[in-house]
Copies of this chain bind each other. A is one copy, B any other.
Amino acid sequence: MSGRRALQSIVQTRHFAADFGRFHVKNLKFVRTPAPRPIPEEIPAFGTVATDHMLEVDFKGSAWQTPVIRPVEDVRLHPLAKVLHYCPTIFEGLKAFRGVDNEIRMFRTEANMARMVTSARRAALPDFCPLQLEHMIEDLVRKEQEWIPRGKGTSLYIRPFLMGTDPSLGVTRSTEAKLLVVCCPVGPYYASGWEPIKVYANPANIRAAPGGVGAFKMGCNYAPTIATGDEAAAHDCAQSLWLWGEKQWITEAGTSNLFLFWKNTNDELELITPPLSGGLILPGVTRDSILALVKEWGEFKVTERYPTMSEVKEAAAEGRILEFFGAGTAAVVAPCSQIVYVEKPNQEPVKIDIPEQANPLYRRLHETITGIQYGKIDRPEWIRVVN
Contacts and interface: CB of A to CB of B under 8 A. Distances in A.
Interface of A: 45-48, 50, 54, 72, 74-81, 83-89, 91, 121-124, 157, 159, 161, 163, 167-174, 180, 182, 184, 203-206, 209-213, 218-227, 229-230, 254-255
A74 B72 contact: no
13 contacts: A85-B222, A86-B226, A87-B222, A88-B226, A121-B227, A122-B227, A124-B223, A124-B227, A124-B230, A212-B212, A219-B223, A220-B220, A220-B222
Contact of A46 (B47, B159, B170, B204): B170
B169 A46 contact: yes
Given A83-B83, A85-B219, A174-B226, 17 more contacts: A47-B170, A48-B169, A48-B170, A76-B76, A85-B89, A85-B161, A121-B227, A123-B224, A123-B227, A159-B169, A169-B184, A171-B229, A173-B227, A203-B211, A206-B212, A219-B220, A219-B223
B75 A54 contact: no
A77 B80 contact: no
Contacts of A255: 171
* Nearest 3 Cβ contacts at the A-B interface: A47-B169, A220-B220, A209-B209
Contacts of A124: 223, 226-227, 230
Nearest to A178: B84
A199 B73 CA distance: 44
Given A74-B77, A169-B184, A171-B229, A86 B219 contact: yes
A84 B80 contact: no
Given A47-B168, A206-B209, A220-B87, A182 B226 contact: no
A87 to B, nearest CB: 4
Nearest to A74: B76
B91 A79 contact: no
Contacts of A161: 84-85
A91 B54 CA distance: 30
**Which of A80, A209, A224, A255 has the most chain B CB atoms closer than 10 A to its own CB?**
A224
B206 A211 contact: yes
Nearest to A206: B211
Give the one of A85, A89, A210 with max B CB within 10 A: A85
Most chain B beta-carbon neighbours within 10 Å: one of A72, A75, A159, A169? A169
Contacts of A78: 74-75
Nearest to A171: B222
A77 B79 contact: no
A162 to B, nearest CB: 10
B212 A224 contact: yes
B171 A226 contact: yes
A69 to B, nearest CB: 13
Nearest to A121: B227
